[in-house]
Amino acid sequence: MRAVSRCRLVVVLAITLLSGCAMVRPHERQNLARRSMTADRDPGEARFTQHKTGAREGADGGTGEPGGGCGCN
Amino acid sequence: MRGLGIGAALAVAVAAVATARADGELTVRGAYYKERATRVEQPMLDGRFDVGEAGSLDAHLLVDSISSASVVAFDEKRVEAGAGYAHVVGDYTVGGSARYSSEPDYKSAFGTLRAQAEAFDKNLTLGLTLGAGHDDVSNAGAGDMGRITGTLSSYLVAASVAQLLDENTVASLVYDLSYLDGYQQNPYRRVVVAGGLMPERHPTTRARHAAAAMLRRYLPRTSTTVVGAYRLYRDDWGILAHTPEARVIQDVGDTVTFGLSYRYHRQRAADFWRATYTAADAYVSDDPKLARLTTHDLAAKLVVTGATLGLEGRWEALRGEAMIEYYVQSAAFGNAIIAHAALTIPFEY
């Protein structure tokens, strides 16, 4: 019951926050389309960095990409 | 007759390519990692190609050359190849990717399926990734030690949401759940247990949760982009980790970008981690990654485009990159220096 209430609270908060966002029109997105705002890291840099931290830290993930894949354990 | 058919098909394909020009880019990158006992050199090639009006294909190939002078000295190469495809259908993007990695004592294959939906005039983007993989592990480099083999299955579910907050700000949230089932210890590592040496022994399953939030904001007055990120990680081995990160990317004119970043990582040790083990311990480990540890990562990056060098036409968009990074570790690995150099070549076809 408590978990359901908590879940409802999260959903209500999310809807409130999202509804408070201003609608950004396509012609207002020139700054959002800049490279620094979309992907300031190339796939190769991101992959190497995830590989490095995955091999040296006990935590991994949070990127939406699979980690591991090597014997650098 | 068959030759004519193939010829006609080729002519149609060539004509289609000739009339519908597409963009792509190729990146050549070299990465270097050096810490007290380990050195890694990794040349890699990344390509991205437009496929028709709505498709995009990416592929990569890399070689890891690893030299280690630690307790078990070794020198080996790992080869990895991967490819992905994404197709846009209205407000939806669907796709998938595959990756294969091979080294003498470790083979790994992983595949993903991805879907993304855009809503509210592309102000909100929702994403879902499902993945599964299979690894084969052995101690093939151990010489006369008894042969050890194992397999590891891994599964990934990742959900993401990105929201435009205004014309200069975007916020995003990613949640990953990965589940590992199989051989997860290092087949070469030995642990002191009650005065004797025992092979490392880890649990065979691991559920890993990671939630990461990121806020990016562009400051038009100074042409600066600031990025703040935080990741919370927890797994059922008892590791709890906090990882905040900040990046500043400064445009210098229209053709040069300079970036600075700092990342901090702190984690609690795994529940079964001990400084010394007894014969009664179910799991024994000498893996420094599973201990309580902190890391600091400081990096500086410079990106210049072809226009800076006076190149014209499509070569204006050529991109050169140099990066230097210092990685401070509280673990026994010691601190590391990392360097990258990359060149991205855009092309039309």
- Contact with chain B for residue A53, Cβ under 8 A: yes
Characterize the bridge pairing of strands B240-252 and B224-235.
antiparallel
pTM of the model: 0.88
User: How far is B191 from B185, CA to CA, in rounded Å?
Assistant: 11
Q: Do A45 and B231 touch (CB under 8 A)?
A: no
Region B57-76 average pLDDT = 87
Region B188-210 average pLDDT = 94
CB < 8 Å to B249, chain A: 36, 40
Position B15 scores a pLDDT of 41
Q: Is B55 exposed, middle or buried (0-12, 13-18, 19+ CB in 10 A)?
A: middle
Position B140 scores a pLDDT of 86
- Contact with chain B for residue A22, Cβ under 8 A: yes
Tokens of residue B244, six digits: 């905040």
pLDDT confidence tier of residue B22, bands split at 50, 70 and 90: confident
Tokens of residue B177, six digits: 């759940």
- Contact with chain B for residue A43, Cβ under 8 A: yes
pLDDT confidence tier of residue B55, bands split at 50, 70 and 90: very high
If we measure between CA atoms, which residue out of B259, B321, B150, B58 comes closest to residue A65?
B58
What pLDDT, in 10s, does the model give residues B302-338? Answer: 999 999 888 888 888 899 999 999 999 999 889 999 9
Q: Which of A21, A23, A28, A41 to mutate to test the interface with B (most CBs of B within 10 A)?
A: A21
Position B315 scores a pLDDT of 86
Measure A35 CA to nearest chain B CA, in Å. 10
pLDDT confidence tier of residue B13, bands split at 50, 70 and 90: very low
Task: Give B111 or B75, the one with higher predicted confidence.
Answer: B111
pLDDT confidence tier of residue A40, bands split at 50, 70 and 90: confident
Q: Cα-flanking dihedrals φ and ψ of residue B286, to 5°? A: -120, 25
- Number of cross-chain residue pairs from A and B with Cβ atoms under 8 Å apart: 188
Residue B194, phi-psi category: left (phi > 0), alpha (psi -120 to 50), beta (remainder): left
Q: Give yes or no for residue B125 having a pLDDT over 80.
A: yes
Nearest by CB to residue A44, choosing from B27, B165, B231, is: B27
pLDDT confidence tier of residue B41, bands split at 50, 70 and 90: very high
Task: Give A11 or B59, the one with higher predicted confidence.
Answer: B59
Tokens of residue B272, six digits: 């079964």
Q: Give yes or no for residue B234 having a pLDDT over 60.
A: yes
Q: Give yes or no for residue B10 having a pLDDT over 50.
A: no
Q: Do A59 and B329 touch (CB under 8 A)?
A: no
Q: Give yes or no for residue B19 having a pLDDT over 50.
A: no
Nearest by CB to residue B44, choosing from A44, A59, A67, is: A44
CB < 8 Å to A59, chain B: 208, 210, 231, 233, 235, 239, 241, 243, 265, 267
Q: Which of B41, B60, B75, B165 to mutate to test the interface with A (most CBs of A within 10 A)?
A: B165
**ipTM for the predicted complex:** 0.90
What pLDDT, in 10s, does the model give residues B76-100? Answer: 899 999 999 999 999 999 999 999 9
